[in-house]
Amino acid sequence: MMNLNNLYQAPAVNRKRYGDTVVTMLSDGYLDVSFELLNGIEANKAEAILEKRGVEPLPRINVNVFVVQTAGRTILVDSGAGGINGWGGRLNSALLAAGFDPLDIDTVLLTHAHPDHAGGLAGALATPLFQNVQELYVHEKELAFWRDDMIYSSASDGFKPFFGLARNAFDAYDDKLVPFSNEAILPGIQAVPLFGHTPGHTGYLVGDEKDSLLIWGDIVHFPHLQMAHPEVTIAFDSDPSEASKVRAALLDRVATDQLSISGMHFNLPASGKIHREHNNYVLNYDAWSPAV
Ligand SMILES: [Zn+2]
């Protein structure tokens, strides 16, 4: 009989089509932090906003991963946290539940190299976990930041392990790395520079002109909180004021264009749209559909 303590959600899989592109949204699990990491909002106010939006009032950050199938490629967008520090680590079971073998993945796009995004890419000693990957795309500014020995040596002791993890992931795919600075990176995929959260933080726009999805990385860590208060930043932001400026500008653009969006820290592996409400924004998740 199923053990009802320690019960994990069944693998979460949500598939949608954008033009000729199929996007499979997967959950890697979550990590628990503290509202203390947020700047610009008190914990009790944060809890009240989450409760109002029907989300558990916990400082819990969900971690999502995306598989994009387009132009003959099977592309993993980020890799979740890989179970490091007990964070996430459900990607493989989600991939299998969605009908993917890790060997199907031939391309990786990284939004940035924080542990909850690059943690699932490599095992110890720079061992690649996706062995058929031919190309790993990362913005050249992101790669340069994590591989910079001067920046590393001046980083705090608490931050240094982030470098170790990012370097291990990059080293695992060293001859597969494709550092880019242009926006047209692959057929049907456009890189969208969204620097601020990290120096090379990048979103990816997939699909075609009529029907597209912007996977925007870490524009929000707490979607409902940071739509209501785009000025709220998190301790992981490398340039908090730039991160909040980029968030505010992107929310405005996405709400105006009614562009479909998804993110690594949405409350579930889902897409959604943003609507204006009073002076700010609300996120409405798209309904799940059994048809793709
Ligand atoms: Zn993140």
Tens of pLDDT, residues 242-252: 999 999 999 99
Provide the CATH number for the domain around residue 233: 3.60.15.10
**Within 13 A of 207's CA, how many CA atoms are on the CB side?**
17
Helix residue ranges, H only, 123-211: 140-146, 149-154, 160-172
Q: Which one, of 179, 257, 171, lies nearest residue 214 by Cα?
A: 257
Residue 94 domain flag: yes
* Ligand 1 center–CA 116 separation, angstroms: 5
Model confidence pLDDT, tens digit, residues 122-168: 999 999 999 999 999 999 999 999 999 999 999 999 999 999 999 99
Distance 220 CA to ligand 1 centre (A): 9
- Looking at residues 268-275, what average pLDDT do you find? 97
> Looking at the domain assignment, is residue 125 inside a domain?
yes
Q: Which pLDDT score is estimated for 12?
A: 87
**Average pLDDT for the chain:** 96
Residue 8 within a domain: no
Establish if 6 belongs to a structural domain: no
Joined together, the tokens standing for residue 1 give 């009989």
Q: Could you tell me the pTM of the whole model?
A: 0.97
> φ, ψ for residue 257 (rounded to 5)?
-80, -10
Q: How far is the CA of 3 from the centre of ligand 1 (A)?
A: 31
**Count: domains in the chain:** 1
Residue 292 belongs to a domain = no
Tell me which residue of 152, 125, 132, 29 sits closest to 76, measured CA to CA. Answer: 132
> Cα–Cα distance between 136 and 151 in angstroms, integer?
23
Segments forming the whole domain that contains residue 115: 13-285
On whether residue 244 sits in a domain, the answer given is yes
Separation of CA 115 and ligand 1 centre (Å): 8
Q: How far is the CA of 138 from the centre of ligand 1 (A)?
A: 15
**DSSP class of residue 105?**
-
